[in-house]
A and B are shown apart, each in its own frame.
Chain A
Amino acid sequence: MTELDPVIHAQARLRVVASLSALNVGDKIAFPRLQELLAMTAGNLSVHLRKLEDAGYVEISKTHRGRTPATLVGLSRRGRLAFEEYTESIRALLDPAQSKEQP
């Protein structure tokens, strides 16, 4: 059986990564907006983001918008690759014949 990336193969983190993968490459989203999209508590989302950051899958930057501090979250190149590989493995598990045709 294919090995699945344990960092992503967890419901909440998979949702986080899948959401971030819908952003364009090179884009980041503000933490509160991501929280709203995922309907997670701030604490919960922070924990998962820290784990994803530790794995090198997400990049978190702190910046200022005017006077208010803002936290921006985006998928790293490595994270996007890991997500694509994970999705590909899942497809392969579901339908080994078709997985080569559907990237």
Chain B
Amino acid sequence: MLAGPPSSTLYRKVVCVDLDDDSPPTDAAAALRLIQHQRSATARRLDPDARLLYWPWGVAWLVGFGLFFLRFSPGDRALVPLPSWLPLTVLFVLLASAGAIQAVVSVRAYGQVTGESAQRGRWYGYAWALGSVSVYAGLGRISEHLPHDLAALLWSATAVGLTGALHMAGGAVWLDQDLFRLGVWISVINVIGAIAGPGWHPLVVAVAGGGGILVAGALARRRQRQRQQP
């Protein structure tokens, strides 16, 4: 198997390689096993568990928007008499935690890998940051002139809409169908919530949006496991 190819240039290369230092795999089956094992081991180490990337956001939406629905319920009522500052505070704390978890998990997995993937990730991150700032700057000016329930709907529908669009864009960047489908789902339920109106929107986002993220995370994890199978 180790005989040099007939071409003389390639033959010379064979001579340069010191064959004693590194023995060939015992047979073809061993070579294939080695390839598959090494590739899947590397992929497992470089690909963070999809659940850690999805589920914290799903929990944040489920709990955060859920509390919002219970406190600022349809028809200007409060289904549960919570302090008015609580829902938004919990939502922001949970969203910040999800962001922190994502950052830590990503750095641990991709931190030592540079190149095109890192560039995509960086630009995608900028899109989130700058996109959010530019959208909310306008909203801040408008919402102060709106009654509380409409202002809340405007904020959450815009935030959820932006999230849906950016998930679809992320799916396009990485050709990741789980991410793209989640973006479509979030966009659709956002429309439904907006039509349902103030008070109902957070319920739709909590149950269908948060639940959708949890399901997407489970699906992404399943696909990941299939891919990493040696």
Q: Using CB atoms and an 8 Å cutoff, list the residues of chain A in contact with chain B.
A: 1, 3-4, 6-7, 9-15, 18-19, 21-30, 32-33, 37-38, 47-48, 51, 54-55, 72, 74, 87, 90-91, 93-94
Contact = CB atoms under 8 A, between A and B. Distances in A.
B113 to A, nearest CB: 5
Given A27-B116, A32-B112, A91 B34 contact: no
Contacts of B114: 27-30, 72
A63 B21 CA distance: 29
B129 interface: no
B112 A12 contact: no
A18 B36 CA distance: 8
B16 A18 contact: no
Given A28-B113, A28-B115, A37 B42 contact: yes
Contact of B28 (A11, A26, A94): A94
Contact of A14 (B5, B17, B19, B25): B25
Interface of B: 1-5, 13-14, 16-17, 19, 21-25, 28-29, 31-32, 34-35, 38-39, 41-43, 45-46, 112-118
A14 B35 contact: yes
A11 B16 contact: no
Contact of B2 (A6, A14, A18): A6
15 contacts: A4-B2, A6-B2, A9-B2, A9-B25, A11-B24, A11-B25, A21-B39, A23-B42, A27-B116, A29-B112, A33-B112, A37-B42, A37-B45, A51-B17, A90-B35
A9 B24 contact: yes
B101 to A, nearest CB: 21
Contacts of B113: 23, 27-30, 33
Contact of B115 (A19, A22, A74): A74
A40 to B, nearest CB: 11
